A and B are shown apart, each in its own frame.
Chain A
Amino acid sequence: MQIKTMAEYFAEGETPEVLFWVGCAGSIDQRSQKITRAFAEILTRTGTKFAVLGKEEACTGDPARRAGNEFLFQMMAYNNIQVLNNYGVKKIVTACPHCFNTLKNEYPELGGHYEVMHHTTFLQGLINEGRIKMKEGGSFKGKKITYHDSCYLGRANGIYEAPRAVLEALDAELVEMKRCGSRGMCCGAGGAQMFKEEEKGTTRVNFERGREAVDTGAEIIASNCPFCMTMLTDGVKETGKEDSVKVLDLAELIARDMQE
């Protein structure tokens, strides 16, 4: 895959259509890298002129801020905004709802004003414009898929319809969990929980959510967040159903069944 960085575009005196903000998980975590590649592949195949920041990208500061470390958050925000503004970035797409929320809602008052989209909304746009066409009788046709609303896309930003619209393109059977939409249950990773051991309780949040997802009878759990991905994968494993139930990101689902 040929992926250009912002610096390379800049050197050529060109401007990409959109900046793909990969995020830390998408850059570093092995499982999330697959999501990143799937989304980059979709962008490439749809002829979307996009760039990444590459080594110039840094954590948005979300987990630091939510853990209470405002200093660290402000430092990360300052540096990221400098980089983004220096390149004159206007439009950003990201496959991480935490990055999405921070870039969209928290950077503007610190001087970073961009049009920010989550990849599910972006995919919906590509489908609506006919830039993504799905194969006839794709591999998900008629299969049961359940969708897990991430907190930072759903409740935090009110985006419930776009990801479901994307799933419709798969011609699969969407089955909802009991707690879905604005009542969706957290995977357990937000608020910097991803980076520490859970407090003691009767069970783990991801075990509870994994069980709920498996109970729908779906073969595929569609997620939109690298942290939910990790949590739900472990949650499914706990139920012993990891061979028959797969957790996949929306980008991976679309990439698999896209027409050439």
Chain B
Amino acid sequence: MQIVSQLLFFAALAAAVFFFSRRAAGIRRNILQGRDIDLSDQPGRRWNNLLLLAFGQKKMFRNPLVAVLHFFVYAGFVIINLEILEIIIDGLAGTHRIFAPVLGPVYPVLIGCFEILAVLVAVSCAIFLVRRNILKLKRFISHDLDGWPRSDANYILITEIVLMLLFLTMNTADGVLQSRGAAHYTETGSFWVTGMFQPLFEGFSDSTLAGIERGAWWLHILGIFAFLNYLPWSKHLHIILAFPNAYFARLEPNGKMENMPAIQQEVLYAMQPELAPTDASAAEVPKFGAKDVHDLTWKNLLDAFSCTECGRCSAACPATQTGKALSPRLIMMKTRDRAEAAGRGETGKTLLRDYISEEELRACTSCGACVQECPVSINPLDIIFQMRRHLVMEESSAPQEWTLMFSNIENNMAPWKSSPDERDAWIHA
């Protein structure tokens, strides 16, 4: 009987790892559809960002109350993984609480800490559900999230609460069985949180308790395997990708736009023809700006897959706040959706127009609030700029006023209609 359970566990673990890896490789492929960009410079500053922005969640603390709650969930997730390691070893080896004899008196302290964290995770998630569904915070009831994204968020929070409750139920039943000296239930001493709830289970027989304990144990670990595989299909993937995304975050001043060396070169040759290579006709004409995900960089696509749809960007965006079509969160969600679709082989569609409209791109004031607010180092502005470059340079598509502005700059050296000779008129006025 024991061996059957071990084999079942092995099968479940192997399936979870297999399907997760397959999906992870798929996401990696989807991200690498983007064009190459070298982000290997300044490792010192990058590690610093990784520590501060990802591990330290620095930007979350712009709103300290939410940051603390989120930190509980994050710490719970990271630290409770130690417990999962024990569960996996137990499951494979057919042992029970294999770390207990090794760690001795430290063991119940450790589990006690996990239990406190589990309670904090469950409470925080419950508060998050309230914020989303009862308090209805503006950024959570926004139409950006209509349909699947809104359900996705709720499923994640509910699953996390259920997993924590299963963990606590398992420990409560285990504690009672230990106190009765039941076979296989290693004596560890009472746990901090579930110790208080043991009286609730005292009325049950040993076999009922063992059923509860085993049931909760299995549901907990199978739930975790299932969640692991839900993760990469959901916005919750940020718990993994926030780390590389912080490492590869842009290090230049926020106000600096990405240079286009190809155009810089071309202008140089136009101004100083003697520098131009003589076999210039052989050079292939590069594409300017981005029409589709393949024209964006892999960092732009990593951004898209790192987005957890929290909406801090859109809540700060002046265009979104004044009812324009643009929402930086949607820019990221649409980029991810198109990258997924392109990865599946969707043809005949492009990010521009089929996903993101010209109207959205035109509404951006380049104020940088979206970049400033994003806790996971996403840069929606960079995508908007690249798509604007495509519109203007590849399609000559610009509002009439912009076309006029361009010609004014070109002819009058100023964006307005004015004579260059008038430029110093203010001195004599």
Contact = CB atoms under 8 A, between A and B. Distances in A.
Contacts of B425: 27
Contacts of B426: 22, 26-27, 33, 36-37
Interface string A53-64: 011011101011
B42 interface: no
Interface in B351-374: 359, 362-369, 371-372
Which of A59, A78, A152, A157 is packed against the most chain B CB atoms within 10 Å?
A: A59
Contact of A205 (B316, B322, B372, B405): B322
A190 B365 contact: yes
Given A59-B415, A71-B263, A202 B405 contact: no
A199 B363 contact: yes
Contacts of A109: 259
A67 to B, nearest CB: 5
B264 A74 contact: yes
Contacts of B318: 185-186, 188, 205, 208-209
Interface residues of B, number: 68
B413 interface: yes
Interface stretch (B48-56, B95-103, B391-399): B391-399
Interface residues of A, number: 71
Contacts of B371: 155
Given A106-B259, A201-B322, A33 B392 contact: no
Contacts of B363: 198-199, 201
B423 A27 contact: yes
A72 B323 CA distance: 31
Interface in B276-292: 288-289
Given A66-B257, A68-B391, A186-B318, A201 B324 contact: yes
A78 B410 CA distance: 13
Contacts of B38: none
B392 A58 contact: no
A15 B233 CA distance: 63
B257 A65 contact: yes
15 contacts: A24-B416, A40-B427, A55-B424, A63-B405, A63-B409, A66-B257, A67-B406, A69-B392, A70-B263, A71-B266, A74-B266, A155-B254, A185-B318, A188-B318, A191-B366
Interface of A: 1, 3, 5, 22, 24, 26-29, 33, 36-37, 40, 52, 54-55, 57-59, 61, 63-72, 74-76, 78, 101, 104-106, 109-110, 151-152, 155-158, 182-183, 185-186, 188-205, 207-209
Interface of B: 62, 252-257, 259-260, 263-264, 266-268, 270-271, 288-289, 316, 318-319, 321-326, 359, 362-369, 371-372, 385, 388-393, 398-399, 401-402, 404-406, 409-410, 413-416, 418, 420-427, 429
Top 9 A-B residue pairs of the complex, sorted by shortest distance between their CB atoms: A156-B255, A202-B323, A191-B366, A68-B392, A68-B388, A186-B367, A201-B323, A58-B413, A105-B256
